[in-house]
Amino acid sequence: MNSSVSAVDAVQGSQLLDDQQAIERIFEHIDNRTTDLGDTIWREPVEHYYSQERFDAEIALLRRLPVPFCPSAALPDIGSFIARTAAGTPLLVVRGNDGKVRAFINACRHRGMQVATGDGCARAFSCPYHAWTYNLEGELKGIPGRVGFADLDPGQHGLVEVGAGEKGGVVYVSQEGEVDETTLTNSLDYFTPEQELFEQQELNDEANWKLINETAQEGYHIKSLHKDSFYPYGLDNTTLVETYGANSRIIFPFRRIEKLRDLEAGERRLAGVATAVYHLFPNVSVAVLSKHTNFTVLEPVSPTQTKWVIYRLFNRQTGDSPITLEEAQRDARFVNDFGQDEDREAARAIQESITSRGNTHLTFGYFEKAIVNFHQHLSIHLDN
């Protein structure tokens, strides 16, 4: 789990700032009491957070796009699989005998029952209803009582495959199209092969997925909402915001970044002195924290319900000392039990008031550049 490459430097081939450039800009903001600003104010109608029609359109979009499904580290071996619902569709994503990741609709071709649940490692998938069996490539290999299906062609009754691919340590799934280099033009390298999964978690909230999504995309609320959790260690409304296509990166510096001032520019690294949150359009984030990285999927369940699916990985680390499981778990508990819970409560509270006629729209200003970028691209995709 060691590497000489920092979490931010590992993003290759992009227009994002490297560590030294980002740190220099952070110091300029600290010294001048400024922050990165957008140039547009966005007003999002409140009905977009509870309308069934809007929700259905967003689900249709999530099925069309190549959406990050999980980190590659969650499927480490041949036979590793994850079965969960994405955009309302039960999916089975598995690493085949050839090492390739494939995605299938998780429905037996006999009577439609799901052939796998949860996650694990398997040599084949047998439907619990009538034991029709499929291999790791989704091919139908076993039908008990074959004589009862004399006219059925097994070659035409494999699991229905949908688009899947991998890039930069992330597995992408598209339910209605292919996943290849042409569809992943704004995908970066978010993980390295040595990063390992150490924990998974699922949460449920009574809030629209976009409200939760918005909480991690600005630092304007750090002092007011996180005054006893994040703020003692971080800076209020001092962030770097970079957009690349529909995606964004927000860097939240810690107060301890000041210790880098006395170092030569080439020796400065962001690892351990800032949190970098990559928003992967539409509903996924990769948050690089001090000791671990969260890969979070916000799965829309209904217009007012969201399921979180969180994968936690050990961080890359500069130096010779590896990050221990205890350190990574302690880092995760702090984020989960304090700041994340405060963000969740804020989203739930907004959802309760959203239909109260208190507002006709939610306003996102210059401090909320990444959120504006998200809504601009969401609007463009839904209009097409």
What integer pLDDT is reported at residue 317 of this predicted model?
62
Give the confidence band of 9 by pLDDT, cuts at 50, 70, 90.
very low
Q: Compare 47 and 8 and report the one with higher pLDDT.
A: 47
> Worst-scoring range by mean pLDDT, 8-22, 47-61, 315-329?
8-22
Instruction: Please name every residue paired with 201 in a beta bridge, in sequence order, or none if there are none.
Output: 310
Residue 183 lies in a domain: no
Q: 294: domain range?
A: 19-57+192-383
Give the confidence band of 319 by pLDDT, cuts at 50, 70, 90.
low
Give the confidence band of 318 by pLDDT, cuts at 50, 70, 90.
low
Helix H, strand E, coil C: the string for 244-307 is: ECCEEEEEEEEHHHHHHCCCCHHHCCCCCCEEEEEEECCCEEEEECCCEEEEEEEEEEECCEEE
Rounded to whole angstroms, the Cα distance separating 182 from 356 reads 44
Of 116, 113, 57, 119, which is closest to residue 88 (Cα–Cα)? 57
- The kind and range of the H/E element at 205 are strand 197-205
The SS3 call for residue 374 is helix
Verify that 106 and 254 share a domain, yes or no: no
Residue 160 lies in a domain: yes
Residue 34 belongs to a domain with what CATH number? Answer: 3.90.380.10
pLDDT tens digits, one per residue of 38-92: 999 999 999 999 999 999 999 999 999 999 999 999 999 999 999 999 999 999 9
What integer pLDDT is reported at residue 321 of this predicted model?
73
Verify that 52 and 92 share a domain, yes or no: no
Verify that 105 and 216 share a domain, yes or no: no
Residue 184 lies in a domain: no
pLDDT tens digits, one per residue of 114-124: 999 999 999 99
- The kind and range of the H/E element at 343 are helix 341-353
- DSSP codes joined into one string, 49-105: GT-HHHHHHHHHHHHHS-EEEEEGGGS-STTEEEEEEETTEEEEEEE-TTS-EEEEE
Check pLDDT > 80 for residue 170: yes
Residue 139 belongs to a domain with what CATH number? Answer: 2.102.10.10
Verify that 212 and 299 share a domain, yes or no: yes
Q: 277 with 217: CB under 8 angstroms?
A: yes
Sequence-distant (≥ 6) Cβ neighbours of residue 78 within 8 angstroms: 95, 96, 97, 99, 136
Verify that 358 and 294 share a domain, yes or no: yes
Check pLDDT > 70 for residue 11: no
Verify that 115 and 203 share a domain, yes or no: no
- Would you mind telling me the total number of residues written for the chain in this entry? 384
Verify that 100 and 36 share a domain, yes or no: no
Residue 187 lies in a domain: no
Q: What is the pTM of this model?
A: 0.93
Q: 203 is written with which tokens?
A: 């949460």
Residue 4 lies in a domain: no
Verify that 93 and 151 share a domain, yes or no: yes
Give the confidence band of 281 by pLDDT, cuts at 50, 70, 90.
very high
Q: Which of 129, 148, 174 is the last residue of a domain?
A: 174
Check pLDDT > 50 for residue 8: no
Verify that 210 and 333 share a domain, yes or no: yes
Verify that 268 and 338 share a domain, yes or no: yes
Q: 113 with 101: CB under 8 angstroms?
A: no
Give the confidence band of 12 by pLDDT, cuts at 50, 70, 90.
very low
What integer pLDDT is reported at residue 179 of this predicted model?
94
Percent of the residues in the chain that have a pLDDT greater than 70, as a whole number: 95
Residue 186 lies in a domain: no
As a whole number, mean pLDDT of residues 156-174 equals 97
Verify that 273 and 336 share a domain, yes or no: yes
Q: Which of 143, 174, 205 is the last residue of a domain?
A: 174
Residue 182 lies in a domain: no
Mean of the per-residue pLDDT values of the chain:
93
Q: Which of 118, 147, 174 is the last residue of a domain?
A: 174
Q: 219 with 238: CB under 8 angstroms?
A: yes
Residue 1 lies in a domain: no
Check pLDDT > 60 for residue 359: yes
Domain count, the chain: 2
Check pLDDT > 70 for residue 307: yes
The SS3 call for residue 29 is helix
Verify that 265 and 148 share a domain, yes or no: no
pLDDT tens digits, one per residue of 193-231: 889 999 999 999 999 999 999 999 999 999 999 998 888
What integer pLDDT is reported at residue 6 of this predicted model?
39
- Provide the sign of the torsion angle of the four alpha carbons 191, 195, 196, 198, taken in this order: negative
